[in-house]
Amino acid sequence: MKKVYIAVSADILHHGHINLIKKASEYGDLTVGVLTDEAIATYKRLPVLNYENRCEIIKNIVGVKEIIPQKTLDYTENLNQLKPDYVFHGDDWKEGSQSQIRQSVIETLKGWGGELIEIPYTEDVSIDQINSIIKQSDSIPESRRGKLKKLLSLKKTIRIMEAHNGLSALIVENTQVQKDEKINSFDGMWISSLTDSTAKGKPDIELVDMTSRINTINEIMEVTTKPIILDGDTGGLIEHFVFNIKTIERLGVSAIIIEDKIGLKKNSLFGTEVEQTQDSIEHFCEKLHAGKSALKTDEFMIIARIESLILKQGMEDALSRAKAYIKAGADGIMIHSREKQPDEIFEFCDKFREFAPEIPLVVVPTSYNQVYEEELSAKGVNIIIYANHLIRSAYPAMQETAKLILENERSKEVDDKCLSIKEILTLIPEE
Ligand code: SPV
Ligand code: MG
């Protein structure tokens, strides 16, 4: 009997899958690789059904002989293990984001003379329509709030990008690139105080008030589904924080990060060039504890941000604060640095993991940006935030366009720097 292999996520199952299974099983004993929750989360939204449920469905379909987990989008590991005579897939992956994965399947099969058989994609399946229905329910606060915790349970390290309005959030939501045998995308959004303030032409000194921040959150929430982490600055007065946190939680935000500074807050990347005061451990712990007590769900996370390295207070101070903040109820720790080298961040990570093996650890590699995500991940970092890059890249592009128009006294010269009129008109679909 020949061996046949297909891989499916089976989160949305339709007659196209049944057709594929039927055809594949006619060629021999069919093994189905079911993509794990983690594998699905690396390239699209979190699965609606978990791995066990999806396996239960697949193994009861006529023609399926065996199921095995497929841990990545890439087939290589399973193919090398099984050495199937045939792999079946719909012909829809010849182009687009999965074409590299297809290529590696073809190469791997060559190792033992296996063959890839592609059957015509079942045209009348409107996956887009099904996805858009899921997307609508995915964006409501109740389904959105818990997504960050869920992602953290599935992936060792997640990648977050700043968004400061609906349009930048759509870029975070939808941008994907194919990289080797993976599809890279962002896992969620950071609503930065710096970029939210800058977009409004205001300095990053807690001047943009909570009502305005909530408007930004709502604008972003309305058009996206990925989890949101709010930069909560210092969290403000404890008496105000306990109210604000309930509002933020109710909106469907997944986490707030508050920093241990007090008084007039300035951006951390100024470091000690400007006057900034670190909060006392006792007072900040009181804030964390009060915040945690005010929450209504266990989905929402309060992450404590330590400014000791920014303010040159030393590693020991940073570590003892981390211990105290965890004890006060923090669901995670963010450690910030403005050094050009990652050494102090790496040292913190190593020492932190000695006493907090499970607590989510967040970093913002803006100044030490030569470091790859994989290196941070190996140091035990769970959340990597790109805190300001969309607005920082948009500004020079807009300024250049403005200058070119002034220089030329017409706009023809900026044509190739702009979306065409057709593109801008259709960028945001009407439904
Ligand atoms: C922000 O994005 O507003 C932050 C991160 O707080 S940083 O600008 O690096 O302080
Ligand atoms: Mg900030």
Domain(s) of CATH 3.40.50.620: residues in the chain: 3-127
Q: Which helix (H) or strand (E) holds 260?
A: none
Residue 261, amino acid: K
pTM listed for this prediction? 0.89
Which among 231, 257, 338, 383 is the best mutation to test ligand 1's pocket, defined by most ligand atoms within 8 Å of the CB?
A: 231
Return the pLDDT at 126: 65
Return the pLDDT at 124: 67
SS3 string, 132-197, reads HHHHHHHCCHHHHHCHHHHHHHHCCCEEEEECCCHHHHHHHHHCEEEECCEEEECCEEEECHHHHH
Is residue 161 within 6 Å of ligand 1 at its C-beta? no
Is residue 231 within 6 Å of ligand 1 at its C-beta? yes
Return the pLDDT at 182: 85
Question: In sequence order, what are the residues at sequence separation of 6 or more whose Cβ sits closer than 8 angstroms to the Cβ of residue 213?
Answer: 191, 193, 196, 230
What's the rounded mean pLDDT across residues 411-424? 96
The answer, yes or no, to whether residue 245 has pLDDT greater than 70, is yes
- Write out pLDDT tens, residues 275-285: 999 999 999 99
Topology classification of domain 139-387: TIM Barrel (3.20.20)
CA 101 to chain centroid = 22
At 16, is the pLDDT very low, low, confident or very high (cuts 50, 70, 90)? confident
For the chain, the average pLDDT equals 94
SS3 content of the chain, % helix, strand, coil (to 5): 45, 15, 35
Is residue 387 within 6 Å of ligand 1 at its C-beta? yes
Compute CA distances 134 → 98, 174, 399, whole Å: 22, 15, 39
Return the pLDDT at 46: 86
What's the rounded mean pLDDT across residues 206-210? 96
Domain(s) of CATH 3.20.20.60: residues in the chain: 139-387
- Percent residues over pLDDT 70 in the chain: 98
Is residue 276 within 6 Å of ligand 1 at its C-beta? no
The minimum-distance atom of ligand 1 relative to the CA of 193 is 3
Q: In whole angstroms, what is the distance from residue 126 CA to residue 14 CA? A: 10
CATH superfamily membership of 3-127: HUPs (3.40.50.620)
- Write out pLDDT tens, residues 52-102: 999 999 999 999 999 999 999 999 999 999 999 999 999 988 888 788 899
Compute CA distances 31 → 8, 47, 65, 73, 296, whole Å: 11, 21, 6, 16, 45
CA of 192 to the centre of ligand 1 (A): 6
Compute CA distances 88 → 16, 51, 121, 179, whole Å: 12, 21, 12, 23
Q: In whole angstroms, what is the distance from residue 289 CA to residue 301 CA? A: 12
Is residue 364 within 6 Å of ligand 1 at its C-beta? yes
Return the pLDDT at 179: 84
Range of lowest pLDDT (44-58, 127-141, 341-355): 127-141
| Catalytic residue chosen out of the listed positions 196, 204, 231, 260 | 204
Whether 204 is a known active-site residue: answer yes
The minimum-distance atom of ligand 1 relative to the CA of 190 is 2
- Write out pLDDT tens, residues 91-142: 988 888 788 899 999 999 999 999 999 998 877 666 667 777 777 777 889 9
CA of 392 to the centre of ligand 2 (A): 15
What's the rounded mean pLDDT across residues 329-333? 98
Return the pLDDT at 236: 97
- Write out pLDDT tens, residues 158-188: 999 999 999 999 999 999 998 887 889 999 9
The minimum-distance atom of ligand 1 relative to the CA of 259 is 6
Backbone angles phi, psi at 188, to 5 degrees: -175, -175
